[in-house]
Structure 1
Amino acid sequence: MGLNVKVEGLSLKKGYNLLIHNLNFEIKPGEVISLTGENGVGKTTLLRTLAGFLMPHAGTISAHENDVQIEPEIWHGSMTHFLGHHDALSPSRTVAQELKFQADFLGGEVAGIEQLNLLGLMDLETRYLSAGQKRRLSFARLLMVKRPLWLLDEPMAPLDVGHRALIAGLMQKHLSEGGMIIAAVHDPLPFETRGLKLERPTAKEREAASV
């Protein structure tokens, strides 16, 4: 895939509250970063900013493919998958209908039914699914269209042991094919990752950012 993403001097705010100050890192094909830190430290905000849903307070996020810079609207729209902490599913659609909707929306084909053990759930409305089943259904859209950067917010949280291993296998396959993953986690992922611990800004940093 050849995409690499660089974050330089990034500061993020939530309202008037400075969450992240002067963050720097780079991610390249085949790499996975585990975001850790206390609740409210900005892990979800960082993922949403990387996905293009939020604007930085300061600093830059740049993406390059084969040393050519990619316009933000292009790599946000066609090179990233964001899987939030809350599953974005329509409660009145069946699993089959939700899969088709997601495939049509992404411009891909329905995928992941067998890999994610969804076959026996196809006629159920999503409102009746357990938290783990909803997470597996949400994960299917990452398989419908190949995009190099997966931004995952607590991807394993609602899953049982067996399905954690299943999802871990799909994540490792993505990495082996040159993909990248940035995941906010409380518990370690079941394979080797590069850790990035977010710390709360100091009082001096918060004061400087408010000027």
Structure 2
Amino acid sequence: MTLQITDLSLARGGVPVLAGLSFTLGPGRALILRGPNGVGKTTLLRTVAGLQPPLAGTITGAEDQIAYGGHSDGLKLGLTVTENLRFWAQIFGQRDFEPALEAFNLAELRDRPAGGLSAGQKRRLSLARLMVTRRPIWVLDEPTVSLDAASVQLFAASVEAHLAAGGSALMATHIDLGLDGDVLDLGPFKAKATAPVADGFDEVFL
């Protein structure tokens, strides 16, 4: 599945942040977003994931193909590690979540409530959800937050396996994951206009 972004313009807080952005992300490829804080990386990722509409431009190839991971871990704290993964697997019509437990070194924590995990363990569980979705395009916003060096390597290995299986990944990260991918600097696409967008534009879906 190929993700095609064409002449995209985005707003945050009613103010344009990016304009004229185009790129293609094909199977087996990773694209790393770079740029200073506030340039619009999160806004772009949320837009690609369908959580907010663009000001202009088109996004094709994303329909029901994206697994999104944002700043929030998105866990049910009262459920165990296993119950959280089983829940997300069922949401996406899957059954087998054992490979995700193993890939993120969560097998020994399988019966522990998510609310009792450390910040890094919660992040690993959140990232393990990506594997049970079986969706080909991973869209990730600073996925390595709270991870130690060993856990970063686990995550990088899961991304590499995902790419090798024909998936793709679009992510914002300041960490060098050692992936064979491309880098897109969003700085040149920073919107020049600072005036608020039209009153009729509602930038948030969720």
Match of 1:156? 144
| Structure 1 residue 178 displacement after superposition | 1.2
| Structure 1 residue 208 displacement after superposition | 9.8
**Distance across 2 between alignment mates of 1:117 and 1:133:** 9
Match of 1:55? 53
| Structure 1 residue 192 displacement after superposition | 2.8
**Distance across 1 between alignment mates of 2:134 and 2:49:** 16
66, 82, 92: which one pairs with 1:96?
Answer: 82
Structure-to-structure mapping, 1:96-115, within 5 angstroms: 96-111=82-97, 112-115=100-103
Match of 1:198? 186
Identify which of structures 1 and 2 has the higher relative contact order when contacts are C-alpha pairs closer than 8 Å and 6+ apart. 2
1:93 aligned partner, one-letter code: L
* 10 and 197 in structure 1: CA distance in 2 versus 1, 3 angstrom threshold: same
Q: Secondary structure at the match of 2:18?
A: strand
Match of 2:204? none
Q: Secondary structure at the match of 2:32?
A: strand
Segment of structure 1 superposing worse, 138-147 or 169-178: 138-147
Q: Secondary structure at the match of 2:79?
A: coil
Q: Report runs of 4+ in structure 1 exceeding 3 Å deviation.
A: 205-211
**Distance across 1 between alignment mates of 2:55 and 2:24:** 19
2:69/2:143 contact within 8 Å kept:
yes
1:103/1:144 contact within 8 Å kept:
yes
**Normalization by structure 2: what TM-score?**
0.87
**Normalization by structure 1: what TM-score?**
0.85
* Residue 159 (structure 2) pairs with residue 187 (structure 1): no
Q: Secondary structure at the match of 1:114?
A: helix
2:18/2:190 contact within 8 Å kept:
yes
Provide Cα deviations, 1:175-198, integer angstroms capped at 9, x if missing partner: 111111001112222223211111
Between the two proteins, what is the percent identity of the paired residues? 39
| Structure 1 residue 206 displacement after superposition | 3.4
How large is the Cα RMSD of the aligned pairs?
A: 2.0
2:140/2:172 contact within 8 Å kept:
yes
1:109/1:145 contact within 8 Å kept:
no
Provide Cα deviations, 1:62-102, integer angstroms capped at 9, x if missing partner: 12xxxxxxxxxxx432x111111210011211212212211
1:41/1:198 contact within 8 Å kept:
yes
**Distance across 2 between alignment mates of 1:55 and 1:208:** 16
1:84/1:153 contact within 8 Å kept:
yes
3, 22, 25: which one pairs with 2:20?
Answer: 22
| Structure 1 residue 210 displacement after superposition | 6.5
Q: Secondary structure at the match of 1:93?
A: coil
How many residue pairs match? The answer is 196
